[in-house]
A = this chain, B = another copy of it.
Amino acid sequence: FDDTAAEAARARQLDLTKPPGSLGRLEDLAVFLAGWQGRVRPAIDHAQALVFAGNHGICAQGVNPFPQAVTAQMVANFEAGGAAINQLCALNGAALSVVPLELDRPTRDFTDGPAMDEAETLAAMQAGAAAVAPEADVLILGEMGIGNSTVAAALAHAVFGGEARGWVGRGTGSDTPAIAHKAEVVAHGVARHAGSSGLGWLSAVGGREQAAICGAVLAARLRRIPVLLDGFICTASVAPLWAADPALLDHCLIGHASAEPGHRGMTEAMDKRPILDLGMALGEGSGAALALGVLRGALACHNGMATFAEAGVSGG
């Protein structure tokens, strides 16, 4: 993070033709992007969106009403351009890539043992890191995977504690009894792996798309690329990194507040306020791709507005 660029960006905001602070969060976002990109006038010329997809052994516990085949069907839908994320990336100018991760080889049921071994976890993290484009100046992360709201709840319960039921919601369409069952599965799975460390939880109860998201976040951190995380599952995916060191997520914004009830607890624990709050709970990176429009708005004002001196307006 380039403090000099950020300070210069903050100073520029005070010169623009508006009362100081009146653009609210847009001002903070412009300064954030200036600091991470290391330039007073940051730009979004190469927004990249990555959607990682995986399958999950925990589906054997009946945690999701849809068959696991839907994961591959949705990957085909992404590739054909028919999903929500395709429309939102096209609207807001992000280049979308979909990365399916061994869909025909689901992780193991985490109530029986670790979901992944260390080599599998590292391979998925590596795939995530490798997918980050060298030219990306902002990175949008999303996911798809039948059963992965249960995986996300397990990661959140493992890292942030509390009651399992506090992290469990409807996911793709669970009703009240199914939600209670998901909570039991989460509680049982996390208890089975008690004593795991932060990143150890990724192997114990995580999944390939969660590990890939961690890998992409770390790759972006090394290259100082600001990241827009999506909602509940994406935020839970990086909880193991947060447990290892919260500073690993300093370059990450959260695109939107998910309608999944567990999301608020996570974002509060991480002290990150989501940009949008529109009752969405789709995943795919959809909330992050929509929030890209807000980032573009912040930079349009930051870079395009006249200063008081330029415009001949009194009171700068």
Interface residues of A, Cβ cutoff 8 Å to B: 16-26, 65-67, 69-70, 73-74, 76-77, 80-84, 86-88, 90-92, 172-173, 259, 275-282, 286, 290, 293-294, 296-297, 300-301, 304-306, 310-315
CA distance A187 to B101 in the complex (A): 65
| Minimum distance in angstroms from A172 CB to a CB of chain B | 5
CA distance A83 to B312 in the complex (A): 12
Pair A280/B88 contact, Cβ less than 8 Å: no
| Minimum distance in angstroms from A39 CB to a CB of chain B | 18
Indicate which residue in B20, B77, B279, B313 contacts A313 across the interface (CB closer than 8 Å).
Answer: B77
CA distance A92 to B93 in the complex (A): 12
Pair B84/A281 contact, Cβ less than 8 Å: no
Residues of B within 8 A of A296 (CB): 91, 293
Residues of B within 8 A of A310 (CB): 82
| Minimum distance in angstroms from A243 CB to a CB of chain B | 28
| Minimum distance in angstroms from A279 CB to a CB of chain B | 3
Indicate which residue in B66, B73, B293, B315 contacts A294 across the interface (CB closer than 8 Å).
Answer: B293
Residues of B within 8 A of A26 (CB): 278, 280, 290
Pair B24/A280 contact, Cβ less than 8 Å: yes
Pair A87/B280 contact, Cβ less than 8 Å: no
Pair B70/A315 contact, Cβ less than 8 Å: yes
Pair B294/A290 contact, Cβ less than 8 Å: yes
**Which partner residue on chain B sits nearest A307 by CB separation?**
B82
